[in-house]
């Protein structure tokens, strides 16, 4: 993250973090005002979809909105919004007044910039939603904002828009002034194991901005040096009871021991977990399926089980497996 009072950095390390909301809430709860820049419309194949955000304080920023074409200019507008509190609506690419700032992809994107103060009630409501792992819709005109639960009932309407029409989208315009942004719970990854593959999966998941829970039953008191968000030495059943396994939770059994884990695998598959997988050889899958049927699991529940885990990459080193696993988890989570 780069101090905004300096020249624009030669290396945009701020863009390696994509979850602008976590950065924003961390600063807001620390008493610092922030500016949010949100893509509310994209036309013509822009590099980032609607709903992508950057967040700014008076000295730091995180996230990225394009391939590097506009971030420096957006930062200037965000700094101005932090000072005067006035919202901005920026258009880049086709139809933009900024002739000197062109998108190399030929697209047109509209960005809303707004200032949010620590005292804004929306901060508390967002924190509550995150604690409950609820999906919410943020509605704003740039000066005032609210959040509303994102209901699963398809008859639910958001300011006259069918909820079912919102499902594949992350943000959009409501009218000339208002826009909405969808916030989903952070992906939580529960990794069970102790070998280098388990460590690599957990480390890469943390870099991918997952919430990582590392589970090593009867393991040492000190957590692994990769510093997961949470570390547990209890058995997986107790971990599953502690953490609600919702559709944004992935469970990876990286202990290679299906016989010892089969009851826990069955519990995970019966839960609402969005992804359940186990590291293991493909030839062992038929035997695992037979065992799960003996536990009374349905064919639909068994079909959720990813074993072997990951997308095929043709290599079996710890980080090769980790890359394939995280890629598959991302793909599955994006389908929900």
Cis omega (within 30 of 0) for bond into 55: no
Range of the structural domain that residue 144 is part of: 1-185
What element of type H or E holds 332? Answer: helix 318-335
Question: Is residue 126 located within the same domain as residue 213?
Answer: no
Paired residues of 182 in beta bridges? 137
Based on the fold, state whether residues 169 and 307 are members of the same structural domain. Answer: no
92 in the same domain as 206: no
> Do 78 and 200 have their domain in common?
no
Q: Cβ of 150: how many Cβ atoms within 10 Å?
A: 19
Please check whether residues 235 and 290 belong to one and the same domain. Answer: yes
Q: How many domains does the chain have?
A: 2
Per-residue confidence of the chain (336 residues) as pLDDT tens digits?
444 454 677 889 999 999 999 999 999 999 999 999 999 988 877 778 899 999 999 989 999 998 777 899 999 999 999 999 999 999 887 666 666 566 666 678 899 999 999 999 999 999 999 999 999 999 999 999 999 887 644 334 555 555 544 555 688 888 889 999 999 999 999 999 999 999 999 999 999 999 999 999 999 999 999 988 999 999 999 999 999 999 999 999 999 889 999 999 999 999 999 999 999 999 999 999 999 999 999 999 999 999 999 999 988 999 999 999 999 999 999 887
For residue 244, the domain's CATH number is 3.40.50.720
Q: Say yes or no: 162 and 246 in one domain.
A: no
Residue 38 and residue 91 in one domain: yes
Up-side HSE of residue 109: CA atoms within 13 Å toward CB? 31
The residue to which tokens 């420096």 are assigned: 72
Q: How far, in Å, CA of 69 to CA of 76, rounded?
A: 14
Residues 265 and 297 in one domain: yes
DSSP 65-128: SSSSSSHHHHHHHHHHHHHH---EEEEEETT-S-TT---TT--EEEEEEEEE-TT-HHHHHHHH
Task: State which of 126, 154, 185 marks the end of a domain.
Answer: 185
Contact of 219 with 194, CB cutoff 8 Å: yes
Residues 318 and 326: their CA atoms lie apart, in Å, by: 12
Distance separating alpha carbons of residues 57 and 229, to the nearest angstrom: 25
111 touches 37 (CB < 8 A): yes
């Amino acid at each position: 993250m780069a101090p905004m009072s300096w020249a624009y950095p030669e290396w945009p390390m701020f863009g390696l973090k994509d979850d602008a909301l976590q950065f924003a809430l961390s600063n807001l709860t620390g008493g610092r005002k922030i500016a949010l820049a949100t893509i509310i419309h994209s036309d013509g194949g822009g590099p980032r979809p609607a709903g992508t955000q950057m967040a700014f304080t008076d000295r730091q920023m995180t996230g990225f909105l394009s391939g590097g074409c506009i971030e420096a200019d957006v930062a200037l507008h965000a700094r101005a919004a932090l000072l005067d509190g006035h919202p901005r609506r920026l258009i880049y690419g086709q139809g933009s007044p900024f002739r000197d700032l062109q998108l190399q992809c030929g697209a047109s994107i509209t960005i809303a910039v707004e200032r949010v103060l620590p005292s804004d009630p929306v901060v508390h409501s967002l924190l509550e939603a995150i604690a409950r792992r609820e999906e919410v819709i943020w509605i704003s005109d740039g000066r005032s904002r609210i959040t509303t639960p994102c209901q699963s009932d398809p008859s639910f309407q958001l300011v006259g828009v069918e909820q079912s029409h919102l499902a594949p989208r992350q943000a959009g315009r409501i009218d000339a002034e208002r826009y909405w942004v969808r916030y989903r719970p952070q992906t939580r990854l529960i990794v069970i194991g102790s070998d280098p593959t388990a460590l690599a999966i957990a480390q890469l998941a943390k870099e991918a901005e997952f919430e990582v829970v590392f589970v090593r039953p009867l393991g040492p008191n000190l957590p692994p040096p990769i510093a997961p968000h949470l570390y547990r030495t209890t058995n997986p059943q107790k971990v599953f009871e502690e953490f609600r396994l919702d559709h944004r939770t992935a469970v990876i059994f990286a202990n290679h021991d299906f016989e010892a884990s089969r009851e826990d695998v069955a519990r995970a598959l019966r839960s609402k977990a969005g992804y359940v997988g186990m590291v293991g050889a493909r030839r062992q899958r038929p035997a695992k399926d037979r065992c799960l049927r003996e536990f009374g699991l349905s064919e639909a529940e068994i079909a959720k089980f990813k074993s072997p885990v990951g997308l095929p990459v043709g290599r079996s080193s710890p980080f090769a497996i980790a890359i394939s696993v995280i890629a598959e988890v991302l793909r599955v989570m994006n389908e929900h």
